[in-house]
Amino acid sequence: MKLVDLDIIVTAPPAPGWGGRYWIFVKVTTDTGITGWGECYASTVGPDAMRAVIEDVFARHMQGENPENIEKMFRRVYSSGFTQRPDLTVMGAFSGLEIACWDILGKDRGRPVWALLGGKMNDRLRAYTYLYPLPHHEHGPFWVSPEMAAESAIDAVNRGYTAVKFDPAGPYTMRGGHMPAMSDITRSVAFCRAIREAVGDRADLLFGTHGQFSTAGAIRLGQALEPYSPLWYEEPIPPDNLLEFQQVAQAVRIPLATGERMTTKAEFATLLRTGGAEILQPALGRAGGIWEMKKVAAMAEAFNVQMAPHLYAGPVEWAANIHLAASIPNLLMIETIETPFHDSLIKGMIRVENGHVIPPETPGLGIEIDEDLARAHPFTGTGLHLQMQEDPCDYQNENHFEGGAPADKQ
C-alpha cells in the first residue's frame, strides 16, 4: 500500500465562526483506494501559501511511501532543508497528513485508530468547553461581562460539562509579553468570582490567556486569581522562551497549562525538564501528529504531567485528539467545540454526551466527512486562521477582547 494522491479543502465555518476563520482539511488516497482525512492547524501563513507547503511536504517526503512508515516520514520532514529542529509551518503540514495516514491504517485494518496506539485506556473522555455567548447574549459585550460568562457557565454545567474555559485578561498582541493593565486584572478576578459563585464545585475553572504577559505580569495576574482555585492557568507567557515558565510555576499556586503553539517532543521536553507546566495542551494538527504526541504523552507520564489536547479548529483534529486521548493513561480532559457545522461535517458520528466523549469503535478516525458541505463553504477572506492585534495594551481605557470570536474583518 502506498500514498498516491492528495486533495486539500479549505473550509470557512459560517458565522459566528467558532474554531477560527478557516480549517484546512487534507484528503489522502492510497493505491488500494483507501482514503484518509487529516487537518492542518497551522496559521503562520495564509491558506493559499499553506496549500503549497502541504503539497510540497506530501510530494517530497510522503508520496509513494507506505502509510505505515510514519516514523520515517516524520524524520524526513523534521530534517528537511538541513533543519532537525521544530518548525511550525512545515510540521503543521506534516501533522495533518500524518493524521490522514492513521485514518488510512485504521480503515485498512478495520480498527479504530486508538486500537493501533496501544489500545483503549479510557472508555469515556472528560470534555471541556470554552464559554461562548448564549442565543440571547450580544456578542461584543459578552467577552467583557462576568455576568454573561456566569450564565454561559451554568448552561455548560447543566449540559454535563465539569470544566469551562474563559479568557478575559485583555489583548494578545504581536508586541510580545506585556504587563497587564490593572483593569484587566480586576476584570479577570471578577470573571473568576462570578463563575465560581455560579457553578460552585460542579465545575473546574480553566483560566486562559494567549501567552500575552511578561513573566512578572503573569505572576502578578496569577496570584490575583489564586483564591478561586482555577484548575489551570493557560499559556501565561509567550512560548518563545520556555525556560520562563518555570519562574511562573514557582510563584503561582495554579497549575500551568501550555502547548497550543508548540511543536514536536523537542519543545515539550524543555517544559518537562524544567517543571514549567503540569498540563500539556498539544494541537495535534500542528504539534507533529498523533504518533509524535503519543511520545510526548509517554514523556509527560514519567514526569507526572497530564495531557489535555487543545482544539480551536475543525472536527477532524478533534477526532485525532479523541483517539490519542483514548489511548493514554495520563489524560486530564479534551477540548470540544459544539456547533451544528462541526457536527454536520462529520455527519454526527462523534458527539459530546453529558460532558464526555465516547471513543468511536468504527475504523480509522471513526468519522465520515461531508465533502460537499466542506467544499460549499470555501474561505474567501485574506485574514489568517487567528490573528494578533498590533495595538499595545491600553492602560488608560478599557481593553476590548473578543475572546474566541474572530473579528468580522477578514
- Rounded Cα distance, 41 and 260, in Å: 10
The SS3 call for residue 7 is: strand
Residues designated catalytic: 210, 310
Rg for the chain (alpha carbons), in Å?
20
- Strand, helix or coil at 313? coil
* Amino acid identity for residue 20 in this structure: G
Question: Strand order of the sheet with strand 3-11?
Answer: 3-11, 23-30, 35-40
DSSP character for 227?
G
* Grid cell for residue 242: 520556555
Inter-CA distances, 333 with 79, 226, 231, 380, Å? 32, 21, 11, 34
Q: Give strand ranges (E) for 158-311.
A: 163-166, 204-208, 232-234, 256-258, 279-280, 306-307
Exposure of 25 by Cβ count < 10 A (0-12 exposed, 13-18 middle, 19+ buried)?
buried
CA gap 393, 396 in Å, rounded:
9
Exposure pattern of 322-338 as b/e (b: 16+ CB <10 Å)?
bbbbbbbebbbbbbbbe
What cell numbers appear for 172 in the block? 494578545
**Sequence-distant (≥ 6) Cβ neighbours of residue 382 within 8 angstroms:** 46, 410
Q: Which three cell numbers stand for residue 42?
A: 497551522
Burial of 368 (0-12, 13-18, 19+ CB in 10 A): middle
Q: Which three cell numbers stand for residue 201?
A: 464545585
State which amino acid sits at residue 204.
D
Distance CA 11, CA 380 (A): 9
User: How far apart, in whole angstroms, are the C-alpha atoms of residue 73 and residue 180?
Assistant: 43
How far apart are the C-alpha atoms of 318 and 335, rounded to whole Å?
8
